[in-house]
A = this chain, B = another copy of it.
Amino acid sequence: MSASKGRVLLAYSGGLDTSCILAWLIEQGYEVYAFMADVGQEEDFAAAEKKALKVGAKKFFLQDLKREFITELIYPAVQANCIYEVGALAWHDFAPNLLIARGMIEVADREGCDYVSHGCTGKGNDQVRFELSFYGLKPDIKVVAPWRLPEFYNRFPGRNALLDYAAQKNIPVVQTAAKPWSTDENLFHISYEAGILEDPNTTPPADMWKLTTAPEEAPETPERITIEFTAGLPTKVTVGNKTHTDAVDIFLTLNALGRKHGIGRIDIVENRFIGVKSRGCYESPGATILRAAHIDLEGLTLDRNVRALRDQFVTVSLSRMLYNGHFFTPEREFIVSAIPASQRTVNGLVRLKLYKGNVVIEGRESSEGLYDERQSSMDEMGGFEPTDTTGFIQIESIRIKKWAQANIRRGQAGVTAKDVYGTRA
């Protein structure tokens, strides 16, 4: 069969799904090039290349995107304290797909591919992140998403159908004991979902967690480190007498420390972009440490009002954009343009203690000078007269007194009407 349909660049993972997709695309009449990105996952890339070519890919491309991932996606998110569903206690489902998509469009442009393809399911976030990024970079690119094509998903209703097809197409299948959940790994985190995790009340088994030591098994002795920030970016990590200053080295070092000390596990029910609730477990060791340190330093070095505005706007909106894949968009360009001015003063260091799942801030230091011991001291005067505060309170209460007077006239004085202030419906 000739490749009459044109050339497609497939986001290839080396696994069963995308290998079957590769074979199926060829069967459908496409010429297939395979694309892999190294975003820090545990993977034998050479074996994957060999497999892709064996299955029938005409070419294979591997891009190392670890540095881009750290400097273009993760560090800006650290600067803005991003966290999806801001109330949450940790980030979940942080996506490198945006940059993988960019790498694919680069290759597709250069290699004359008419199509790009991926193996994401029709229910998740990754498909959206991939495709919105494709379109934001190359609006006329065509996308083949087999798991959303009836001719594909009806043919392969389950894992066994894929295994049969693999056997038929001579696709090598690694015989691992199937785990009752699925995982996705990159250097930011690993995620676990599906299978037994679909019951939100099932506690994940202890042997599920792959990256981090359980807090119970982590070292008995705390470890102390220092992280230095320049304009909100981590520029130096000191562990014992070793220092790390390269952007990638810093992140991987924090990852190793977090793994060792059982830091960064989370088990959560989140809301996917398409509006479906989904239960996932995540381990993000380095990111958890970095986030705590950055937030702490901002306490010392960032003006209160800048922080409040940034928290309510940049943090919230950039987090949502990263999660939903609205990255190559005008709104991302807009929001990100406000980050540098918010981080100009975020310079200094934070000292941390890592211990059995805990990231404990032990101190911080900066020469920015927004903090003034003398001024905050309860023991000395320092910069302003106590009488000034009297005026401040008087002015602050003008509006409130007017409201209270009106309440009293109306017989709704606060003091006698406690229930007014309750929150019971």
Contact = CB atoms under 8 A, between A and B. Distances in A.
Nearest to A320: B308
Given A305-B329, A333-B420, A396-B128, A404 B139 contact: yes
A360 interface: yes
Contacts of A384: 394-395, 398
A316 interface: yes
Closest CB pairs A-B (n = 9): A391-B391, A122-B386, A340-B425, A275-B399, A271-B304, A269-B299, A139-B401, A337-B341, A388-B391
B275 A406 contact: no
26 contacts: A76-B423, A88-B299, A121-B378, A123-B377, A132-B397, A136-B401, A139-B405, A201-B363, A201-B365, A216-B222, A265-B360, A271-B307, A276-B376, A277-B370, A309-B334, A328-B414, A335-B338, A340-B424, A355-B356, A356-B356, A358-B358, A370-B406, A372-B402, A383-B398, A387-B391, A388-B391
A81 interface: yes
A93 to B, nearest CB: 13
Copies in the complex: 4
A361 B198 contact: no
Interface string A184-203: 00000000011100111111
A244 interface: no
Nearest to A365: B201
Contacts of A395: 274-275, 384, 388-389, 391-392
A72 B422 contact: yes
A423 B85 contact: no
B269 A102 contact: no
Contact of A403 (B102, B370, B405): B370
A146 to B, nearest CB: 10
A413 interface: yes
A326 B399 CA distance: 11
Contacts of A313: 309, 312-313, 317
A72 B417 CA distance: 13
Given A276-B399, A356-B357, 19 more contacts: A79-B423, A106-B415, A122-B387, A124-B378, A128-B389, A137-B414, A158-B379, A203-B351, A203-B363, A266-B361, A267-B361, A303-B331, A305-B329, A306-B334, A309-B317, A312-B316, A336-B423, A384-B394, A391-B394
